């Protein structure tokens, strides 16, 4: 009896996990070419689901994501390339739909920004390293005292 009591919550938890994992996209699309399939799988990971925002369309179960996967499949099976699909999507949903922003004038700062920050950081670091130590006032009396101390050591 105790075994059953202990296992029940575990079994329920396992069932819950099973339910969650079976939620992922399960469209059965057939490809005549493994390269097309690979491209499809790559693209659905690179296109953002505009409804759910922080999911790609491959991960999302939203109706729109399903439709966009279907569109992607249709275009790829017709033999269209990656650029074509990405253009199709960004013309309709804007650059936001692309998880990997393209290099263009309004994304320039996004791409080169980290390098600019790196250059600034290196510059600041170099200046910090090369800066002479703070001037220490060192009088004759101090010198005499230091010598005295050193002599005592010997």
Partner 1 sequence: MKRYLLPLAGFIVLVVFLAIGLKLDPKHIPSPFIGKPAPAFDLPDLHNPQQRVKTGDLKGQVWLLNVWASWCVSCRAEHEVVKRFVAMNETPVFGLNYKDKPEDGKAWLGALGNPYKTSLMDISGDVGIDWGVYGVPETFVIDKKGIVRYKQVGPLTDSIIDEKIIPLVRELDTEAS
- Smallest separation, CB 25 to partner 1 (Å): 17
Q: Does 96 bind partner 1 (CB under 8 A)?
A: yes
Nearer to partner 1, 31 or 93 (CB): 93
For residues 20, 21, 24, 27, the Cα torsion angle rounded to the nearest 10 degrees is -120
Q: Does 67 bind partner 1 (CB under 8 A)?
A: yes
CA gap 120, 114 in Å, rounded? 10
Q: Within a 13 Å sphere around the CA of 104, how many CA atoms are in the beta-carbon half?
A: 6
Nearer to partner 1, 16 or 125 (CB): 125
Q: Does 36 bind partner 1 (CB under 8 A)?
A: no
Applying CB under 8 A, the residues found at the interface with partner 1 are 50-51, 53, 63-64, 67-68, 71, 90-96
């Amino acid at each position: 009896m105790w075994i059953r009591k202990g296992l029940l919550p575990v079994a329920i938890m396992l069932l819950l996990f099973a339910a969650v994992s079976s939620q992922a996209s399960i469209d059965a699309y057939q490809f005549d070419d493994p390269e097309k399939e690979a491209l499809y799988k790559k693209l659905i990971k690179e296109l953002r689901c505009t409804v759910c925002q922080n999911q790609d369309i491959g991960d999302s179960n939203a109706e729109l994501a399903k439709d966009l996967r279907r569109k992607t499949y249709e275009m790829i099976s017709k033999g269209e390339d990656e650029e074509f699909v990405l253009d199709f999507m960004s013309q309709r949903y804007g650059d936001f739909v692309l998880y990997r922003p393209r290099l263009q004038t309004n994304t320039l700062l996004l791409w080169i920004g980290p390098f600019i920050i790196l250059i600034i950081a290196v510059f600041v670091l170099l200046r910090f390293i090369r800066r002479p130590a703070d001037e220490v006032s060192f009088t004759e009396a101090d010198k005499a005292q230091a010598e005295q101390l050193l002599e005592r050591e010997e």
